[in-house]
């Protein structure tokens, strides 16, 4: 495991989760184990390769709080062929990032997510055409109404891309609804980065919308342009790659919330 990921050269205090994720790179290596399994340890579960628990590049054992999530990670290792392809193992990369860059810096990661509440995707609306305006409202307004009614976070909207200052009270209320658990806040951090919206990530965490709704809401403008102008193959490929990570982390969040 240790040789599959780079050692972290340095973690940004403002964004340790991203620093940990950037430290992972695809290294093609022959499969060196017969099979992966799940073991129990203090504080949770481990993924084992031929009975030995996987560790981060710095040598920390990867302890996973939910058995079901550990089983999903073990399945990634068992699915590998002759060569190990880390890019096909989003949950393994996620777990490595949590243990390596979040468990000791949970508040810093929470702060990094909360920064998005000052300029969230959902605040900036198209002025035209009417069809796009209506589609943005259909996908985004329910989340904003929920934030206002359930959290007391009343955010301001703007037309176009001119920055609008959000009330401190709204930002504080939304931040207060973020989880304190390192694995859960790490999942929200990834989802926020992939969607451009901490509010969508927060609504997913609280069960207000499901993963498909989050993904659709995050790509309203992009999907509108595709319908009007056609598919850009490079853009579509990047989106597909992001969707793999999104679905994996959304599934991990579900298992973590259920305590499986």
CATH of the domain at 48: 3.30.2180.10
37 and 77 both lie in a single domain:
yes
Please say if the pLDDT value at position 11 is more than 60: no
Residues 197 and 224 in one domain: yes
| pLDDT of residue 7 exceeding 80 | no
Distance (Å, whole) CA 95 – CA 234:
28
Could you tell me if 89 and 203 lie in one domain? no
Report the C-alpha gap between 239 and 177 in whole angstroms: 28
* Residues 247 and 139 grouped into a single domain: yes
What CATH number is given to the structural domain containing 199? 1.10.3580.10
Structural domain ending residue among the three candidates 104, 122, 137:
104
Q: What is the pLDDT of residue 260?
A: 59
- The model's pLDDT over 120-176, given as tens digits with 9 standing for 90+, comes to 999 999 999 999 999 999 999 999 999 999 999 999 999 988 889 999 999 999 999
Asked if 112 and 206 sit in the same domain, the reply is: yes
Looking at the fold, whether 248 and 140 belong to one and the same domain comes out as yes
Q: What is the pLDDT of residues 85-123, one digit of tens each?
A: 988 999 999 999 999 999 999 999 999 999 999 999 999
pTM for this model (two decimals): 0.88
By three-state DSSP, how is residue 113 classified? helix
Cα 188 from chain centroid (whole Å): 5
86 and 143 in a single domain? The answer is: no
Which residue did the predictor score with more confidence, 34 or 259? 34
Residues 187 and 111 in one domain: yes
Q: What b/e readout covers 10-24, taking b as 16+ CB neighbours within 10 angstroms?
A: ebeeebbbbbbbbbb
Same domain membership, residue 252 and residue 150: yes
Kindly state the average pLDDT of the residues 15-30.
56
Give the domain-ending residue among 82, 104, 126. Answer: 104
Instruction: Reply yes or no on whether the pLDDT at 6 is more than 80.
Output: no
Quick one: 17 and 133 in the same domain? no
Q: Do both 54 and 166 map to the same domain? A: no
Domain that holds residue 25: 2-104
**How many domains would you assign to the chain?**
2
Please tell me whether residues 166 and 187 are part of one structural domain: yes
Is residue 36 predicted with pLDDT exceeding 50?
A: yes
User: Helix (H, G, I), strand (E, B), or coil: what is residue 97?
Assistant: helix
**pLDDT number for residue 162:** 86
Distance CA 195, CA 26 (A): 23
Taking only the tens place, the pLDDT of each residue in 199-255 is 999 999 999 999 999 999 999 999 999 999 998 899 999 999 999 999 999 999 999
What percentage of the chain carries pLDDT values higher than 90?
82
Which of 104, 129, 149 is the C-terminal boundary of a domain? 104
């Amino acid at each position: 495991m240790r040789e599959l990921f780079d050692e972290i050269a340095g973690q940004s205090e403002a964004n340790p989760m991203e620093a940990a994720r950037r430290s992972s790179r695809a290294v093609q290596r022959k499969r060196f184990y017969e099979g992966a399994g799940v073991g129990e340890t203090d504080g949770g579960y481990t993924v084992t390769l031929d009975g030995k628990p996987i560790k981060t590049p710095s040598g920390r054992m990867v302890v996973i709080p939910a058995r079901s999530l550990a089983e999903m990670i073990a399945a990634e290792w068992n699915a590998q062929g002759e060569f190990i392809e880390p890019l096909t193992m989003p949950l393994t990369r996620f777990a490595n990032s949590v243990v390596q860059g979040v468990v000791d810096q949970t508040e810093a990661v929470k702060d990094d997510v909360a920064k998005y509440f000052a300029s969230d995707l959902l605040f900036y609306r198209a002025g035209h055409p009417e069809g796009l305006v209506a589609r943005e409202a259909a996908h985004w307004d329910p989340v904003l109404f929920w934030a206002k009614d359930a959290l007391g976070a009343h955010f301001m909207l703007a037309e176009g891309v001119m920055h609008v200052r959000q009330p401190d009270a709204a930002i504080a209320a939304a931040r207060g609804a973020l989880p304190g658990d390192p694995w859960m806040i790490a999942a929200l951090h990834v989802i926020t980065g992939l969607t451009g919206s901490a509010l969508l990530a927060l609504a997913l965490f609280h069960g207000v919308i499901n993963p498909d709704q989050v993904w659709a809401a995050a790509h309203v403008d992009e999907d509108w342009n595709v319908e009007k102008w056609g598919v850009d193959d490079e853009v579509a490929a990047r989106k597909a790659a992001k969707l793999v990570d999104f679905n994996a982390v959304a599934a991990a969040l579900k298992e973590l919330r259920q305590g499986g």
